[in-house]
């Protein structure tokens, strides 16, 4: 049956991501501005904050956040008729069923194989550093907005360090801010929002970016006190308590 439920409104939640250990979300080699770094972090070439224009500022791409949260949730979603997590269903690829809550929130992987996919509920914005974070970087870092960490491989026989490589990282204490927006349709249950919330909590016990098994990428997700709810047909912006999302958005 095709999807025929009306759009009820848009829920906008502004989260903060606090970096607790060095964060490395890889960027492209072309953006190397200092010679000799083999592992740069992703940056935007130009960033404006409060009238100040900055160059090459690290950020957290919405795609990185979305992909990570989705991959974590695919380990907890178990379809009733299956008995094993959807992470194990598709040979390592994202879920392609088009029916589960992960597909509803994040979209169906290879959607063209599904005849009538449901609309995707979530939009992840890029997350940018807060003004306090920019000020902190300018205060404590000598060059640019990142640290450069040197890592070695220990030779098993000689015991000495070899093949140093240089990892660029965002330093602990940095805070990034951005919106996750949810399209809510008539009949959508609070379970959908709860699943997103669970994914973000799971992320706090996992890692963002690369080298997580070596201590990188621990983050804390800071929820706002207030969120924005724009209900149709008026589409008027109203501020509601985060704690009241279930009552004000999903019940009725
Ligand atoms: Zn699915």
Is the pLDDT assigned to residue 137 strictly greater than 90? Answer: yes
Q: How far is CA 48 from the centre of its chain?
A: 22
State how beta strands 175-185 and 122-124 pair: antiparallel
Is the pLDDT assigned to residue 17 strictly greater than 70? Answer: yes
Question: Are the C-beta atoms of residues 172 and 19 closer than 8 Å to each other?
Answer: yes
Distance from Cα 99 to the centre of ligand 1, integer Å? 5
Per-residue pLDDT at 87: 85
Q: Which helix (H) or strand (E) holds 60?
A: none
Distance from Cα 75 to the centre of ligand 1, integer Å? 12
Is the pLDDT assigned to residue 179 strictly greater than 80? Answer: yes
Is the pLDDT assigned to residue 35 strictly greater than 70? Answer: no
- Minimal CA–CA distance to 44: which of 139, 135, 106, 125? 125
Distance from Cα 90 to the centre of ligand 1, integer Å? 10
Per-residue pLDDT at 42: 93
Per-residue pLDDT at 29: 60
Distance from Cα 211 to the centre of ligand 1, integer Å? 28
All residues at 6 or more sequence positions from 213 whose CB lies less than 8 Å from its CB, including other chains: none
Distance from Cα 202 to the centre of ligand 1, integer Å? 19
* Alpha helices, DSSP H, located in the chain: 62-73, 101-106, 131-140, 190-204, 245
Distance from Cα 11 to the centre of ligand 1, integer Å? 22
Q: Please tell me the distance from the alpha carbon of residue 252 to that of residue 240, in angstroms, as a whole number.
A: 15
Distance from Cα 4 to the centre of ligand 1, integer Å? 19
For residue 207, the 8-state DSSP code is -
All residues at 6 or more sequence positions from 81 whose CB lies less than 8 Å from its CB, including other chains: none
Distance from Cα 98 to the centre of ligand 1, integer Å? 5
- Highest mean pLDDT, choosing among 25-39, 71-85, 127-141: 127-141
pLDDT-derived band at 206, boundaries 50, 70, 90: very high
Distance from Cα 116 to the centre of ligand 1, integer Å? 13
Per-residue pLDDT at 39: 85
Which tens digits make up the pLDDT trace of 43-86? 999 999 988 999 999 999 999 999 999 999 999 988 777 778 88
Distance from Cα 156 to the centre of ligand 1, integer Å? 45
The pTM score is: 0.89
- Highest mean pLDDT, choosing among 11-15, 100-104, 146-150: 11-15
- What DSSP string runs through 128-182? EE-HHHHHHHHHH-SSTTSEEEEEEEE-TTT--EEEEEEEEEBPTT-EEEEEEEE
Question: How big is the chain by its Cα radius of gyration, in Å?
Answer: 21
Question: Are the C-beta atoms of residues 86 and 79 closer than 8 Å to each other?
Answer: yes
Distance from Cα 108 to the centre of ligand 1, integer Å? 7
- Give the mean pLDDT of 113-126: 88
Domain ranges of the chain: 7-250
Distance from Cα 139 to the centre of ligand 1, integer Å? 46
For residue 190, the 8-state DSSP code is H
Mean pLDDT of the chain, nearest integer: 90
pLDDT-derived band at 117, boundaries 50, 70, 90: confident
> What percentage of the chain reaches a pLDDT higher than 90?
64
Distances (CA, A) of 155 to 75, 110, 126: 37, 44, 40
Distance from Cα 83 to the centre of ligand 1, integer Å? 14
Distance from Cα 119 to the centre of ligand 1, integer Å? 13
């Amino acid at each position: 049956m095709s999807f025929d439920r009306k759009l009820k409104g848009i829920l906008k939640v502004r989260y903060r991501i606090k970096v607790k250990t060095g964060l490395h979300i890889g960027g492209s080699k072309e953006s190397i501005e200092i010679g000799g770094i083999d592992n740069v972090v992703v940056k935007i070439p130009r960033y404006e904050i409060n009238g100040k224009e900055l160059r090459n500022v690290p950020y957290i791409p919405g795609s990185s956040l979305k992909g990570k949260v989705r991959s974590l949730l695919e380990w907890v979603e178990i379809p009733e008729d299956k008995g094993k997590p959807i992470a194990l269903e598709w040979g390592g690829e994202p879920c392609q069923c088009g029916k589960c809550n992960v597909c509803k929130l994040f979209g169906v992987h290879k959607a063209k194989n599904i005849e009538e996919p449901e609309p995707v509920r979530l939009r992840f914005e890029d997350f940018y550093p807060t003004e306090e974070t920019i000020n902190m970087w300018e205060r404590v870092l000598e060059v640019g907005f990142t640290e450069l960490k040197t890592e070695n491989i220990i030779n098993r026989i000689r015991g000495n360090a070899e093949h140093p490589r240089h990892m660029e990282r965002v330093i602990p204490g940095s805070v990034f801010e951005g919106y996750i927006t949810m399209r809510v349709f008539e009949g959508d249950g609070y379970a959908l929002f709860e699943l997103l919330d669970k994914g973000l909590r799971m992320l706090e016990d996992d890692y963002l970016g690369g080298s997580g098994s070596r201590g990188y990428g621990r983050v804390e997700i800071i929820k706002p006190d207030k969120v924005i709810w724009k209900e149709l047909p008026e589409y008027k912006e109203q501020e509601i308590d985060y704690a009241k999302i279930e009552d004000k958005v999903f019940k009725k």
